[in-house]
Amino acid sequence: MSQTESSFAGAQRLGPDSAVSVRGVSKTYGAVEALRNMSLEFPRGQLTSLLGPSGCGKTTLLKIIAGLIPADEGEVEVNGTKIAGPGNDRAFVFQDFALLPWANVLRNVAFGLELRGVAKSEREAVAERYIRNVGLAGFEKSFPHELSGGMRQRVGLARALSVNADVLLLDEPFSAVDEQTRRKFQEDLLALVANENKTFIFVTHSIEEAVYVSDQIAILLARPSRVSEIIRPSSFREKGVENIRRDPEYLDIVDQIWASLRSYVE
């Protein structure tokens, strides 16, 4: 390798390494323009929030990254490879949990592996480990309707973790659970980001939630949908979960986001 090549190889590693890159993605539904020429980088190992008023296309963008919806234009790269549909490098956590009501917790958590043809004993061992991780030990044989909303979303989270994807896509995962459960979830999510070495893409409509959990917040605005601002909180992440909500930077960012969003909320 010549010296020039080796120095360029080093140069490419500069800046944050992106796990997911969205480049020039557009999407229209009939006459409605959901996304126009959207570009966004998602740094590896970090949590990026997509935050914006309803109708700004944040869920559409997430589903395009998941490969569930094809983009009309532009491309999405995951780990440097252009995607052509859902892949085993990404796992999705659904707003309405999307659990199989006829299957118990164990089978629901193992379902992603079941679809991949992993042998029953093996996938159940993996599932049991993640059921313990999300704090549902003892509920393996319960059915979804026997669980509370928060517990159901823990099942959805365990299912997404058990397929061991690099990128976790979370579509307003805590919007259907109560406030106290949600706070616990947010703390658990921070621990997950710190321990799991995965990239998280998190759609939310809650400003406080986005600032609390994110390494990077992308503010999306509607009509036409665009990234208006990217905010990277810097100082309060290391101060411990119990100190974040009274940190001056946290409060400033929450105010700043509301100031820029308020004119778009009718």
Partner 1 sequence: MNRSLVFKLLSAVLVFGAWEIGGRIPISYAFPTFLESMEAFARMAFDGTLLRAYAETLKPLVLGVAISALLGIGFGLWIGLSARSEWFFSPIFIVMQAAPLAALIPLLVMAYGIGLTSKVFVVCIMAMPVIVLNTAGAVRNTPASLKEMGQSFLADDRQILLKIVIPAASPVIFSGLRLGVSAGFIGAVLAELKITPTGVGDIISYSRSIADYPSMYAAIFSIILLAVLFLNLLEKLENVLFEGNNRGYVSD
Q: What is the DSSP string of 127-159?
A: HHHHHHHTT-TT-TT--GGGS-HHHHHHHHHHH
Strand partners, 38: 25
Token output for 25: 């993605």
Among 76, 83, 92, 186, binds partner 1 (CB under 8 A): 92
Q: Toward partner 1, which CB reaches closer, 111 or 250?
A: 111
Residues 158-177 that bind partner 1 (CB under 8 A): 159, 163
Among 145, 180, 259, 266, binds partner 1 (CB under 8 A): 145
Q: Does 91 bind partner 1 (CB under 8 A)?
A: yes
Q: Does 115 bind partner 1 (CB under 8 A)?
A: yes
Smallest separation (angstroms) from partner 1 to the CB of 200: 15
Among 143, 222, 229, 264, binds partner 1 (CB under 8 A): 143
Q: What is the DSSP string of 208-253?
A: HHHHHH-SEEEEEETTTTEEEEEE---SSGGG-GGGGGG-HHHHHH
Q: Toward partner 1, which CB reaches closer, 62 or 219?
A: 62
How many residues interact with partner 1 (rule CB under 8 A)? 33
Residues 49-78 that bind partner 1 (CB under 8 A): 63, 66-68
Q: What is the largest CA-CA distance in the chain?
A: 64
Q: What's the one-letter identity of residue 53?
A: P
Burial of 140 (0-12, 13-18, 19+ CB in 10 A): middle
Instruction: Count Cα atoms within 13 angstroms, Cβ side, for 214.
Output: 28
Q: Does 103 bind partner 1 (CB under 8 A)?
A: yes
Residues that bind partner 1 (CB under 8 A): 63, 66-68, 86-88, 90-92, 94, 96-104, 111-112, 114-116, 143-146, 149, 152, 159, 163
